[in-house]
Amino acid sequence: MKPAAFDYVVAESIDAAVAALAAANGEAKILAGGQSLVPMLNFRLLRPSTLVDINRIPDLAFIEEGADAIVVGALTRHHRLETAPVIARHLPVVAEAMRHVAHLAIRNRGTIGGSLAHADPAAELPMLALLLDATLHVVSHAGPRTIAARDFFLGPLTVDLAPDEIVTRIVLPKLPPATGWGFAEVARRNGDFALAAAAATLKLRDGVIGEARIAMTGIDDTAKRAGEAEALLAGRTLTPDLIDTAVAAARAGVNPPTDLHASSDYRRHLVGVLVGRALADAWRRARGEQS
């Protein structure tokens, strides 16, 4: 199938993209990497009047190091996140997770802004944005605004973004000192979307867990944090029994879909196993232990 006809606008600046979106009265779509949008056009799941191509806007593709955060332009490709030394140094959980996103050809085109705006319930980047408490900067004709990642993901393929808003940059706080991380994923084949994935960070304080963060994907309408599991880890030493308790709390907080690839029960079981692995790795790294 071929897409329905649309007007095609190549924006060369953020202002030009904003103007093109405003002119289309909510009927336009932004074209970033095209890895999710183009299949949806070809299946005629979407019939926008206009495509606003943002690929030639230079100030949307960058990775900048700030004092406490890494700021990533929305058009930054997955492969840059996977390979940039500054990401490996300050956000190694991101570099590791990106290797599990699709295939290299797709990672060469797909963008962080596109992945967050698309909000596939099994995607890795929404999970990472929640894990890291990221902030999204967006702009439209009405002006700029910022949205916390925890408020951004509303449902499957649904986010808090008006049709005329562009995500311009994402602020990813650096992992603090004395923080370990873990990431674990299972997909049926290399490059497939995850059946489930989990990521965790543990920040140590006086030898015990000062702050725990756990995020999961593939297990509900959106990626989500395991708030109850996080709360019961604080102030404790990670033991096998405590991992079991946290895993049970994480499983209780998800509502996985059943589909062609896996049942809901299987995904619930799986995400618990993955949370356990991510926590064990985070604890080991926080304590500076080798694998």
Ligand X SMILES: Cc1cc2nc3c(=O)[nH]c(=O)nc-3n(C[C@H](O)[C@H](O)[C@H](O)COP(=O)(O)OP(=O)(O)OC[C@H]3O[C@@H](n4cnc5c(N)ncnc54)[C@H](O)[C@@H]3O)c2cc1C
Residue 163: half-sphere exposure toward Cβ, Cα within 13 Å: 15
* Of the candidate residues 91, 101, 226, 275, the single one contacting ligand X (CB under 6 A): 101
Q: Compute the least distance from the CB of residue 168 to ligand X, in Å.
A: 7
* Of the candidate residues 79, 90, 118, 169, the single one contacting ligand X (CB under 6 A): 118
Q: What b-and-e string marks burial along 124-155, b requiring 16 or more CB atoms within 10 Å of the CB? A: bbbbbbbbbebbbbbbbeeeeeebebeebbee
The C-alpha atoms of residue 284 and residue 126 are separated, in whole angstroms, by: 25
Phi, psi of 61 (to 5 degrees): -120, 95
Nearer to ligand X, 32 or 172 (CB): 32
- Region of 28-36, 139-147, 170-178, 255-263 interacting with ligand X (CB under 6 A): 28-36
Binding residues among 184-223 for ligand X as defined by CB under 6 A? 193
**Binding string, 149-168, against ligand X, x = CB under 6 A?**
------------x----xx-
Nearer to ligand X, 209 or 271 (CB): 271
Which residue, chain included where needed, has tokens 């332009």? 73
Binding residues among 64-93 for ligand X as defined by CB under 6 A? 74
- Total of chain residues touching ligand X, rule CB under 6 A: 29
Which residue, chain included where needed, has tokens 């909000």? 119
- Region of 110-118, 218-226, 270-278, 279-287 interacting with ligand X (CB under 6 A): 110-118
Q: Is 111 in the site for ligand X (CB under 6 A)?
A: yes
Q: Compute the least distance from the CB of residue 220 to ligand X, in Å.
A: 15
Q: Compute the least distance from the CB of residue 119 to ligand X, in Å.
A: 8
Tokens encoding 43: 């299946």
Helices (H), 91-162: 92-98, 104-107, 112-118, 124-131, 149-152
Q: Is 135 in the site for ligand X (CB under 6 A)?
A: no
Tokens encoding 217: 């994907």
* Of the candidate residues 18, 93, 114, 250, the single one contacting ligand X (CB under 6 A): 114
- Region of 3-11, 123-131, 204-212, 244-252 interacting with ligand X (CB under 6 A): 123-131
Q: Compute the least distance from the CB of residue 235 to ligand X, in Å.
A: 34
Helices (H), the chain: 14-23, 37-42, 78-83, 85-90, 92-98, 104-107, 112-118, 124-131, 149-152, 227-233, 240-252, 264-286
* Of the candidate residues 18, 69, 95, 102, the single one contacting ligand X (CB under 6 A): 102
Nearer to ligand X, 153 or 283 (CB): 153
Three-class SS state of 225: strand
Q: Is 35 in the site for ligand X (CB under 6 A)?
A: yes
Nearer to ligand X, 38 or 178 (CB): 38
The answer to whether residues 50 and 6 touch, using CB atoms and an 8 Å cutoff, is yes
Tokens encoding 73: 């332009």
The C-alpha atoms of residue 115 and residue 132 are separated, in whole angstroms, by: 16
Give the DSSP H or E segment for 205. strand 196-205
Binding residues among 37-66 for ligand X as defined by CB under 6 A? 37
Q: Summarize as ranges the residues that interact with ligand X (CB under 6 A).
A: 29-37, 74, 101-102, 106, 109-111, 113-115, 117-118, 120, 123-125, 161, 166-167, 193
